[in-house]
Structure 1
Amino acid sequence: MSETEVALAPHPLLLADGAPAADAWSLDPALTHLNHGSFGAVPLVAQERQARLRAEMERAPVVWFPELPGRLAATRVELAGFLRVDAGDLALVPNASAGASVVYNALARRRGGEIVVTDHGYGAVTMGADRLARRWGGRVRTARIPLGADEDEAYEAVTAEIGEATDLVVVDQITSATARRLPVERIGAAARRQGIPVLVDGAHAPGLLGTPLADATYDFWTGNLHKWGCAPRGTAALVARGPLRDLLHPLIDSWGAQDPYPDRFDQQGTLDATSYLAAPTSLDFVERTWGWSAARRYMDRLADYAAHVIGAAFTRLTGADSRADVGMPVPGMRLVRLPDGLGRSRIEADALRDRVARELAVEAAFTSFGGIGYLRVSAHVYNTPADYEHFAEKYVPVLGNWAREQHC
């Protein structure tokens, strides 16, 4: 986009009756909600659907649970259609981290016990990789990728860490802390040529990317439907291809343990699976109301506008360039550099998130990379340009004051 286009505010999305899109959610109007990417937000129609399913479960649990595997199998077909994958490749898991844990539990050391990750990886998934490497008697090798690295540079940084001792490559499709893509397609193909399994962490991909798995070469892919897809929380997909998928088992063994993959994931005792069953309601709601393609275009334009408005406000305040050079940007997410002194580490960024929520009544995401703090913009259909204009006008000065306090 040109500088002029970035500055243009998109028209807010409306419901069919002309009401604001936010009316379809139960988000507290006393708060400013600018952080869809962390935990998502569930539309009312899906909340109501899940409540009805829970009521059905509680009315007749002895009927509900024996019938549940069949209902989940049918739901997997719907969700696989949304992701454009074969339903026979897709298992349901609570979140992307759980999907990674399933993979870690299944794999055995075959070569030198080394696992390649990146310095953009999601903390919980990277910690799981570290634990697996210790169990194998191996180690984790971390590919260092500059924030501004283009596709070739990112690819070369990861593949440079792959060697004869590598037993697994773990790479994010969209990074959480840095809101950028990584070339998982090329990395996966390179690993495949060497016979090395690849786990793609696609936590943010469903809903944000139209066909997240279309061109990827991978053994395992896991992504959250409760983020951009707005499904009830605790809804994610684990997609596995190739012979290694037969090693995958749910984290809880139950009476379906001897069933083939992915059927054995459909029976896990008395777990409340209503989030899975209600997930298609969220996906269908966005498609019926705006269409997913139109929703993604809006989110992307809004994220551009938000970064422009908030970034310009920080620059006017501090005189420093607030732009973040992200080498492979993604739709709907942007980074804005914070004033020096704010969010310099994950702990500081989390503390800033909590303080902003508590004192400013704003739900926002703050991240850190390379000792620099960032505001991570993650827009959804219920957000409007006014949300970010309000933040820039009212709260950027407050954050500037907090940054100056750090230097006193």
Structure 2
Amino acid sequence: MTEAPKPLLLPDGRPAAHAWTLDPALRHLNHGSFGAVPLAAQQAQQRLREQMDRAPVVWFPALPKRVAAARAEVAAFLRVPAHDLALVPNASAGASVVFGNLPHRPGGEVLVTDHGYGAVTMGAERLARRWGGQVRTAHVPLHATAAEATAAILAEVTDRTALIVLDHITSATARWLPVEQIGRAAREAGIPLLIDGAHVPGLAEDPLAGLEFDVWVGNLHKFGCAPRGASALVVRSELRDRLYPLIDSWGAQEPFPERFDTQGTIDVTGYLAAPTALDFVERTWGWPTARDYLTALADHAELIIGAAFAELTGGSAAVDVGMPVNALRLVRLPEGLARTRLEADALRDRVAAELGVEAAFTSFGGAGYFRLSTHVYNTAADYEYFAEHCVPVLVDWARRARA
């Protein structure tokens, strides 16, 4: 059994959780779905909203310059040139920008994997229908190594493949996919590549270094802790000249990415406050220290929760994930729980309502999983509580479901 890492503290000695406003009556073990915004960023966003409402005629004409400044800070965090990066509401919106602006390919196919995020895959399906083509789905076993996953994906490429959509980190299965290898192959074949990096900002030091892709999108409001509705869209090909925001506004005639800086009367204070959230973690602990803590805590949580299930069921709850993520892990649920996405969502809601825990449950291939995720405000005690108090209830629910 791994030793539990010591909790992170604020500079004044208080637990890290005191920098957030999360309800102390709940255990928050699902940072990966919607994130959690530190108080410093909440306050920064509220001050911005107050400025907007005090003088809207002053605020909105000056907004593009403020968005551009925030965009430059986000670009520095991701270590990419500011002229390659636009700000969008979320990763799905960034994917929709691509789907809505690609040149028409009659009969073109879109290649996805069976690990893809549902909303993005739905967008790919709509694009394929407009083209009169189809979506091809590569099956990647959960245990597949980088080489095995690459082979499985490239085996589905045909002469009709007009776009590849690939997760950087998968949502339902908590694994990396081999974006480096697929990127090189896509570039050689002249096939555009869209990488959905929704979970990546904050979890990797230099996540786009050396990658070949056309468009990459990543949420700042997940592990980056920015206010929700703040994401980065990065372009590294001639597609930049074709990409326009989902809403036409007065910046439409500007070049990329400036045309994304003007979006009418949309509240973009989340964009402007995003650097405050990123800087808060950096100033308080440093992102390398934060990532080390997230990894150590996930190691500990995965083992103790898996052991708790195994003790009660007599079977292993360990999951062989081919390219595991530092802060996201899977623990197999007993048979009968979360066999589908709808069942997983229902279990999430029941656990929150009856057990007082915000947790993530996912399904893949007909099996259900507890997807644990860690952040700096979590402690080993959070996951020990889950192992002691929630695992026995989940095992009982599974037995009842099978009866």
Identify the TM-score tier after normalising by the shorter chain. Answer: over 0.9
Task: Give 1:185's match in structure 2, choosing from 180, 184, 188.
Answer: 180
- Cα distance in structure 1, aligned partners of 2:371 and 2:261: 35
**Deviation string for 1:203-240 (max 9, x for gaps)?**
00000111111121100000000000000000000001
Instruction: Quote the residue 1:136 is aligned against.
Output: 131
- Cα distance in structure 2, aligned partners of 1:110 and 1:273: 34
* 1:42 CA displacement: 0.1
Contact 1:209-1:331 within 8 A present in 2 as well: no
Instruction: Quote the residue 1:52 is aligned against.
Output: 47
- Cα distance in structure 1, aligned partners of 2:248 and 2:101: 13
SS at structure 2 position matched to 1:272: coil
**Residue 197 (structure 1) aligned with residue 192 (structure 2):** yes
Contact 2:106-2:131 within 8 A present in 1 as well: no
* 1:244 CA displacement: 1.1
Instruction: Quote the residue 1:79 is aligned against.
Output: 74
Contact 1:111-1:166 within 8 A present in 2 as well: no
SS at structure 1 position matched to 2:86: strand
Instruction: Quote the residue 1:323 is aligned against.
Output: 318
* 1:111 CA displacement: 6.5
Contact 1:9-1:305 within 8 A present in 2 as well: yes
Amino acid across the alignment from 1:236: S
Task: Give 2:362's match in structure 1, choosing from 367, 372, 376.
Answer: 367
- Cα distance in structure 1, aligned partners of 2:35 and 2:258: 27
* 1:288 CA displacement: 0.4
**Residue 24 (structure 1) aligned with residue 19 (structure 2):** yes
Amino acid across the alignment from 2:188: R
Instruction: Quote the residue 2:144 is aligned against.
Output: 149
Task: Give 1:88's match in structure 2, choosing from 83, 91, 98.
Answer: 83
1:92-111 equivalences in 2 (<5 Å): 92-110=87-105
- Cα distance in structure 1, aligned partners of 2:334 and 2:62: 55
- What TM-score results when the alignment is normalised by the length of structure 2? 0.99
**Residue 250 (structure 1) aligned with residue 245 (structure 2):** yes
* 1:110 CA displacement: 3.6
**Residue 15 (structure 1) aligned with residue 30 (structure 2):** no
**Residue 278 (structure 1) aligned with residue 287 (structure 2):** no
Contact 2:106-2:133 within 8 A present in 1 as well: no
Instruction: Quote the residue 2:208 is aligned against.
Output: 213
* 1:108 CA displacement: 2.0
* 1:242 CA displacement: 1.4
Amino acid across the alignment from 1:373: G
Instruction: Quote the residue 1:376 is aligned against.
Output: 371
Instruction: Quote the residue 1:61 is aligned against.
Output: 56
**Deviation string for 1:333-385 (max 9, x for gaps)?**
11000011000110100000000011111000000001100000100000000
Amino acid across the alignment from 2:39: L
**Deviation string for 1:59-85 (max 9, x for gaps)?**
000000000000111111100000000
- Cα distance in structure 2, aligned partners of 1:273 and 1:288: 24
Contact 2:106-2:132 within 8 A present in 1 as well: no
Amino acid across the alignment from 1:161: E
- Cα distance in structure 2, aligned partners of 1:339 and 1:178: 17
Query: Could you list the runs of 5+ residues in structure 2 that have no partner in the other structure?
Result: none
- Cα distance in structure 2, aligned partners of 1:353 and 1:293: 31
Instruction: Quote the residue 2:380 is aligned against.
Output: 385
Q: How many residues align?
A: 403
- What TM-score results when the alignment is normalised by the length of structure 1? 0.98
**Deviation string for 1:149-206 (max 9, x for gaps)?**
0000000011111121000000000000000000001101101101100000000000
**Residue 403 (structure 1) aligned with residue 394 (structure 2):** no
Instruction: Quote the residue 1:126 is aligned against.
Output: 121
Instruction: Quote the residue 1:313 is aligned against.
Output: 308
**Residue 267 (structure 1) aligned with residue 236 (structure 2):** no
* 1:293 CA displacement: 0.4
**Deviation string for 1:376-405 (max 9, x for gaps)?**
010000000000001100111000110010
Query: Could you list the runs of 5+ residues in structure 1 that have no partner in the other structure?
Result: none
